[in-house]
Structure 1
């Protein structure tokens, strides 16, 4: 290794800087054309400054990372670390064309996004929310506090580990068993089942819907809710969840519109003593 390379050796501190930049900017300057490309390039700066000697070299390296990039921010961190390692290898004389950088990113950002969305965006959030909501409904302020603290700790912890792991693996990350198509397929399938189970449990526990419709008089009053409970306890919350899912997933109605619709129906139902 040359004296220049020894002087500009990339350290763990530099990699932590990469991780912090990515954590703080992964959705900044997001655009429809290239999505997270600006955040990716900006995150590489601490490493690129160490492995380039002129502004022209730094500019070319940054341009190399302005191509399309999009993945799940947390699970995708090993890929960022791997690309940083490739930049170090390139600075030491290895012939790594720009197309190889793009090929590595294109090959892994999709599978990592699928795994990350299943693990963090759905299952992980659902598990943490079930814990936090349970405490919050009992009037315990630790519910939202614990959710925020645990979510932040997991996100930061995995992101920093992911950068270090990816840097250690370098281009070998393409052959890593952890991110192999078979492993990702099995993991996403398992997480999907777990996520649906958790969401189902949350729906049954936290969604309450009962009707006040009744007919008759005196001792012969018949309550519609008793009929529903005899058919299947919790049938009205179940129907509500399925209707909301259908409107959102099949009719592409936004979450905000559905929330407003629920508020209006709830208010009207309460006024006419339907619910």
Structure 2
């Protein structure tokens, strides 16, 4: 029958009799079991698995033994842990070859904290899967290799990200938030109406002259609605980050003639409810 226990040993980087700080030891235990749990969670029903502390020893090497159990009494723990241990063992073995398993990728922070601690304060971390598989022993050389594999993987993933940096000519609708300068050039900081993001609209010399004729800089605090035309710049995420404005014009909404609106028979004599029912295709 598959064992439901796992033991983790932590040893000082100064050797078997070297000192271990409380923080390094306890954090290494916590990260080790969380790292193992990440592999177990990939199995069907693995999300219900928790770890019960069985024993802990401060003798060198410091040792913690935990036993898996399920929060769902209908879940059989042993077969899940049997497969989860094998997933863990093969996943960390692949790190030696530069291969990063998906379950490790989703727990990079835990993995990196554990490995970095193994380079500073902790000299040896051992995962004993209770005799079912060979021990996984993490020493300085192993920790450096695994970190290298993870960091290379992260670098490759970043290189795959599509860079959406570009510019195009067009216009945006916005509300003026502030009149100021941008790198020494006159600018209106405007709140783009579609996204609500405030961006600088850097005025060309001609645009600044035209804006000065029709705008008081105090208008900047009034939230005036404007249409900004010019070259629109987008960042790597494809978001508008700046406009080189060649023209800024007020957007003035026409006043509504309420008396005239009241005299209009826009519902053709129907009640508002009947009119809306017809408009949306309801039977009433």
TM-score, normalised via structure 2 length: 0.24
| Greater Cα radius of gyration, structure 1 or 2 | 2
Greater percentage in strand: 2
| Structure with larger RCO (C-alpha < 8 A, sep 6+) | 1
